[in-house]
Structure 1
Amino acid sequence: MNQIKLFIELTRLKKPIGYMLLFWPCAWGLTLAYDFSLSWNNYFFYLILFFLGSVLMRSAGCIVNDILDREFDAKVFRTKDRPIASGKISVKLAIFYSTTLCLLAFLVLINFNLFTIILALGSMPLAFTYPLMKRFTYWPQLFLGITFNYGLILGWTAIKGQIDIIPVLFYLGAIFWTLGYDTIYGFQDIKDDEIIGLKSTSIKFKGNAKKFLFLCYSILLVLFFIGGYLIEFKSIYYFLSILPLMHLFLYQMRVFNLTNPFSCLKAFKSNNVFGLIIFINILISKNF
């Protein structure tokens, strides 16, 4: 029973925000591409597959992250009690867990077309080298955005079997979304990270954090609007986008306090609402 608790802690299964932020772009890409004049059965089937894949790969990613960062985690107040950093789980057992999760994720992946399988496998090096980026660049959040939103492209290719400009625009917008929300998240550890020599956009823009966030979210909105125009969404798409999203962004700017870790986490978690709003908006715009 104790090992199960440690496994859940290791994979962050009690913190769904991680795998939901991985899942939403998949759902966006799938919904953008799907022809809803056909049966909805395949749509829900793929949606479930992407959800399972998100949970499995996020869990595996957390383990790899903790293995690579175990020495740094031990020096950071928020992460010092993580199972690997604290020695409760050995690196060897953690590698076994991660490998098993990846194999299960592969069983999910083979349900898609060959092009999507190849693209997904091609993203694996990005997914597992991301934790190393904070050692070399102030832009690890950019690498996370490239990796975390890759599912948007996969959602599209799962239906279309090819890449087009529309999912690329939404993908680029989603990268700026991640660049914003993970910068907020990074402020929780900024003091410890500076002491031990790690880098992040949180550190790089700590004097202009809200301006940087505003820029990221503005680019996101513009790219999503251009994508909506190219896919010929009606005016309801823009109405359902701009009002709730402006409210969400203003909420984040109001709540976010870079000196208060709790406020950073609160602002970060609100992005799950953003993901849900965009998903519902695309679903409505595709069917009405």
Structure 2
Amino acid sequence: MSTSPGAAARVADSTGNWVDSLAPLWSRPYLRLARFDRPIGSWLLLMPCWWSAALAAGVAHDLRLLPSTVALFFVGAFVMRGAGCTWNDITDRHLDARVERTRSRPIPSGQVTARQAAAFMVLQALAGLLVLLRFNTFAILTGVASLAIVAVYPFMKRITYWPQVVLGLAFSWGALMGFAVILARIDAAALALYAGAIAWVIGYDTIYAHQDRDDDALIGIKSTALLFGTRTRPALALFYGAAVVLIGIALALAGASWPAYAGLALFALQLAVQVARIDITDSALCLRLFRSNRDAGLLLFAGLVGDAVLRTIG
């Protein structure tokens, strides 16, 4: 796939990364399309996958599938987030050209064409399919079912102030996948974990959306950031509180032991810090708080792994 002379250009909201300095020039627009220059979204997509796998391993009292599942989920999250972002950039290319933060992205800036981006998206989706085919039939079908939500998400910001809900449905799907892979079923604990992850996504993506609040208002793009406005702090407290409660219900339904609850407590503390510190007028702070959710997710995952180990050897 060829690229334009703009291949060496940088994206305004992602500079000073390894893609800008180390990647071959021809590959940079494609790596930017897949957001390999800013992998935080892939980590956030991965977290519910890892939570679910660890919790399901604890339910099964069996760790044998956990290492390979964690590794496959890691690869799958990065390639499928890349495919999703490429799809988002294709559908949003005209809108991105009108927003200061996004107009330098590969398609609106002319680094690649929409056709080239579509071909790259297909390659990423095929890589994701190869990962999915390593799982059982129930898990494969569960994974395929998520594609409908991914496909419609980019259009939601045009018609509703709640696109973050649809993003939550997509980004939290991994909360179902761990149970599907390890237990070949989706039970009440998985559904509660899914609901908690959705509330978490709504919270952190509201923080993220405040970076584009003014531009979005000008061009007619909707978001919970615009909907909540100055009420963002209480809204965050509500959604983050719901996330902690629902994940706690999932742990109780799964019969989790104390390490899982310790991880949840640290997760809750990190979210509380975000609520306390949020300043919707400070874009740099919003980005830092958004990114801190990876660490929050890892703290919960560590607790769930400890729970699985304790229940397996106990």
Q: Do the structures match in fold with TM over 0.5?
A: yes
Partner of 1:153: 176
Cα offset, 1:7, TM superposition: 1.3
Partner of 2:228: 205
State TM-score, norm by structure 1: 0.96
Deviations 1:254-277 (A, max 9, x none): 332111110110110010011101
Deviations 1:185-218 (A, max 9, x none): 0000000000000101110001200000000011
2:299 is aligned, of 268, 277, 280, to 277
Partner of 2:45: 22
**Residues 255 and 266, structure 1, Cα contact 8 Å, conserved in 2:** no
Cα offset, 1:134, TM superposition: 0.1
- The alignment partner of 1:125 has SS state of helix
**Residues 179 and 216, structure 1, Cα contact 8 Å, conserved in 2:** yes
Q: Over aligned residue pairs, what C-alpha RMSD do you find?
A: 1.4
Cα offset, 1:85, TM superposition: 1.2
- The alignment partner of 2:238 has SS state of helix
Matched, 1:140 2:135: no
Partner of 1:92: 115
Matched, 1:221 2:244: yes
Cα offset, 1:8, TM superposition: 1.4
**Residues 72 and 131, structure 2, Cα contact 8 Å, conserved in 1:** yes
- The alignment partner of 1:189 has SS state of helix
Q: 1:155 to 1:133 in 2, by over 3 A?
A: same
Partner of 1:31: 54
Give 5+ residue unaligned stretches, structure 1. none
After TM superposition, list the pairs within 5 Å mapping 1:1-288 onto structure 2.
Answer: 1-34=24-57, 38=62, 40=64, 42-242=65-265, 244-288=266-310
Cα offset, 1:57, TM superposition: 0.4
Cα offset, 1:151, TM superposition: 1.1
- State the alpha-carbon separation in 2 of the partners of residues 239 and 148 from structure 1: 24
Name the count of aligned residue pairs. Answer: 286
- The alignment partner of 2:109 has SS state of coil
Cα offset, 1:38, TM superposition: 4.2
Cα offset, 1:49, TM superposition: 0.9
- State the alpha-carbon separation in 2 of the partners of residues 38 and 194 from structure 1: 50
Greater Cα offset, 186-195 or 251-260: 251-260
- State the alpha-carbon separation in 2 of the partners of residues 260 and 38 from structure 1: 46
Cα offset, 1:2, TM superposition: 1.9
